[in-house]
Amino acid sequence: MKVYNIAVLEGDGIGPEVMKEALKLLDVISKKNNVKFDCVKGLVGAAAIDKEGHPFPNSTKNICNNSDAILFGAIGDPKYDNDPKAKIRPEDGLLEMRKFLGLYANVRPVITYDSLLDSSPLKKEIVSGTNFVVYRELTGGIYFGEKSISDDRKSAYDTCSYSVDEIERISHLAFKEARKRKKELTLVDKANVLETSRLWREVVQKISNDYPDIDVSYLFVDNAAMKIITNPKDFDVILTENMFGDIITDEASVITGSLGMLPSASIGDKISLFEPIHGSYPQAVGKGIANPMAMILSLAMMLDLSFNLKKESEIILKSIEDALSENFVTIDIDSKNYHTTSEVGDWLSKRVSEYLG
């Protein structure tokens, strides 16, 4: 029997609730197939600060180092968001985790489902058929550059810095993904004003020579932000730096009709992490209204990318589509006829079990 070791980091807010539903599906797959998932839980974020005084403690680092992949729920707590002078923040744990584990590429697919087109704030004819993926660099840029605030708190700075190596490694991933899709790649930057963006463009232009079959285009981030709203179907693979990627992927998330429908993967050379993009959503904690589908879709990405369990991954995707078409959904998708977080998880577990036979 094949055994896969998974670090389960539930995190904060609705993280534990949606993670519980994803683990139900893992249990079904384990029972139906000759495979075992050894899941070990670790603390991260505000939960870790409260219990261990650090958002990414050594105990969790050890769990991650001894795992084949990481499932991550959410991070963040209002008590830290509302305190600008807080010395330690939950989000610091996420940044440290990315750096510690070498998670340099965030992959976020943006796909619209026919049954959710009316839920999108954009016109149906604009979003119908949208299917693109964003490759966002994760360990460089302004989030990790030198930063400081003056003692009198009247001035501050954040430094954006990138190396050729950092740009090259994610660029090759994005180009290889484009080869599997429509062979179109768009670099999103701000090369008209930023030196780091000029370096990105220079490196990507050079790398493009190794992929002559890929049609490469270049867009300034402000133009790209507008185009994602006005014509998202134009995109196939988007490649961009850390902060720009953070912003445009959150922008793109509304296209699908619900934040609860978008998974993501953070890829490293040795290990990868899989998480929904919806955040901790503290207002929903304990109410049974959180949408578990993004967490479950992240699980599907893990099965495919980390364990090569493509059949099981595709069955989860099919089950999600079934739930949407049969309107077995949470309140964020249908405010009148909805089901609880656990009911949706149970329904999907049953459907996956049926498909596995």
Active site residues: 143, 190, 222, 246, 250
* Rounded Cα gap, residues 75 and 11, in angstroms: 5
Q: Which residues contact 150 (CB under 8 A, 6 or more apart)?
A: 156
Helix, strand or coil, per DSSP, at residue 304: helix
Q: Could you tell me if residue 130 is left (phi over 0), alpha (psi between -120 and 50 degrees) or otherwise beta?
A: beta
Residue type, position 24, single letter: K
Strand partners, 275: 264
Structure-token match 């793109």, residue found: 252
* Rounded Cα gap, residues 225 and 223, in angstroms: 5
The answer to whether 352 and 316 are in contact (CB under 8 A) is: yes
The answer to whether 295 and 21 are in contact (CB under 8 A) is: yes
- From the list 327, 356, 355, 313, the residue with the least C-alpha distance to 113 is 327
- From the list 146, 144, 137, 234, the residue with the least C-alpha distance to 189 is 137
